[in-house]
Amino acid sequence: MPGLADKRLVFVTGKGGVGKTTVALALGIAAARRGLRTVVAELSGQARAAETFGAPSAPGEEVALDGDGLHAISVDMERAMEEYLHERAGRVGDLLAASRAFHTFASATPGMRELLTIGKVWELAQDRRRVAGTRPYDLVIVDAPATGHALGALRAPRTFAEIARVGPIAHQGTAIDATLRDPAQTAVVAVALPEEMPVTETLALRRRLRDALGLELAAVVVNACLPERIGPRQARTLADALDRADDRVVRAALRSALSEQARAAEQREQVARLAADAGPAPLELPYAFAPAVGPVVLGDFAQRLEGLL
């Protein structure tokens, strides 16, 4: 199914620590290579995209990472709120944004943070941008929070629309919700590690996404897959050799090969669980033995994710 390049909004989510940011960035690079004006939006308050590219960044600021192709923004709730108020009410909106009581109200109202964040992401994906001096993007890739929080954020517009019933928030919430539910505009990509918990969470995400938004998962990316360099029969040979060997270096080498083989085999079982599921076939990214994920690794990952576009 993928065809992510034809969407406007791609949410990348998954359990904590699985490499969502890495996958979001690699997808962004792939999209930009294809000539799409792309922005990677980080929602965690960090600016890892900008850091990776050595670009300066400020909260809520759109920065170009690579010519006019790839951009990044670290979405900032305060900034998003100011933009929204300004757009709705101009100068007087600015006054409201400056009022302390209003800030207390906004930050205390449950779900408001999620609503403003998702509203900003939606704004990035509009043909007619509402923020002065900005241009539209072909594709917005969202480095979304971990699964539970991501689903909460995706549901926030409808929740608020239902509470408000009428008026501007209801109107806006409904418009955002319609975009999120439209499979022609929005896709959700799950990232997992080939381990028990992240796989279980991915399988659950597929169900929960359908319940929450009526959307199907567009793709499942499995990160950090070890190569299968030693087969089961070879592993037996190595285990026998380890029993006999007494050289320290030889023992260390045999042990590390057996350990990697055991972990790779366990990973296969977990990938098989994903493959057996009715959802999208898992796309594997290799374990990066490099000390840190930098531009070279990201470039390689981008190439491997190319097919999802």
Partner 1 sequence: MRGVGELLAQTRVCVVGGSGGVGKTTTSAAIAAGMAARGLKVAVVTIDPAQRLATALGLDELGNDPHRVEAERFAAAGLELRGELWAMTLDPKRTFDELIAHLSPDAETRERILANRVYRELSDAIAGSQEFTAVAKLHELAQTGDWDLLVLDTPPSRNALDFLDAPDRLTAFFEGRALQTLLRGGGAGLRLLGRGTGLVLGLLRRVTGTELLSDLSDFFRLLGGLLGGFRERAEQVEALLRAPGTRFLLVTSPEREPIEEAIFFQRRLRAARMTLGGAIVNRVHADELGDEDPADLPALLAAEAGLSPALAHRVAAVFADEHALARRDAANVAALAQRLGASVPLLQVPLLDGDVHDAAGLVRLEAELFGDPGA
* Distance from chain centroid for Cα 29: 14
Alpha helices in 109-231 (DSSP H): 112-124, 147-164, 168-181, 196-213
Residues of span 141-180 touching partner 1 by CB under 8 A: 145-146, 148-149, 152, 155-156, 159-160, 162-170
Residues of span 239-298 touching partner 1 by CB under 8 A: 241-242, 244-245, 247-257, 259-260, 262-263, 266, 289, 291-292
Total residues at the site for partner 1 (CB under 8 A)?
78
* 198 binding partner 1? (CB under 8 A): yes
Nearer to partner 1, 5 or 222 (CB): 222
- Scanning 26-34, 58-66, 68-76, 140-148 for contacts with partner 1 by CB under 8 A, the matching segment is 140-148
Place of tokens 């070279």: 296
Contact 143, 43 (CB under 8 A): yes
Member of 114, 123, 138, 177 binding partner 1 (CB under 8 A)? 114
Nearer to partner 1, 264 or 309 (CB): 264
Nearer to partner 1, 68 or 211 (CB): 211
Between the alpha carbon of residue 126 and those of residues 7, 161, 224, the distances in Å are 12, 19, 34
- Scanning 12-20, 24-32, 66-74, 178-186 for contacts with partner 1 by CB under 8 A, the matching segment is 12-20
DSSP state at residue 130: S
All residues at 6 or more sequence positions from 40 whose CB lies less than 8 Å from its CB, including other chains: 24, 25, 27, 28, 49, 70, 71, 72, 73, 141, 142, 143
Residues of span 209-238 touching partner 1 by CB under 8 A: 229-230, 234, 237-238
Find the radius of gyration of the CA atoms of the chain.
22
Residues of span 67-106 touching partner 1 by CB under 8 A: 84-85, 88-89, 92-93, 95-96, 99-102, 104-105
Dist. CA 270–CA 262, nearest whole Å: 13
Nearer to partner 1, 178 or 245 (CB): 245
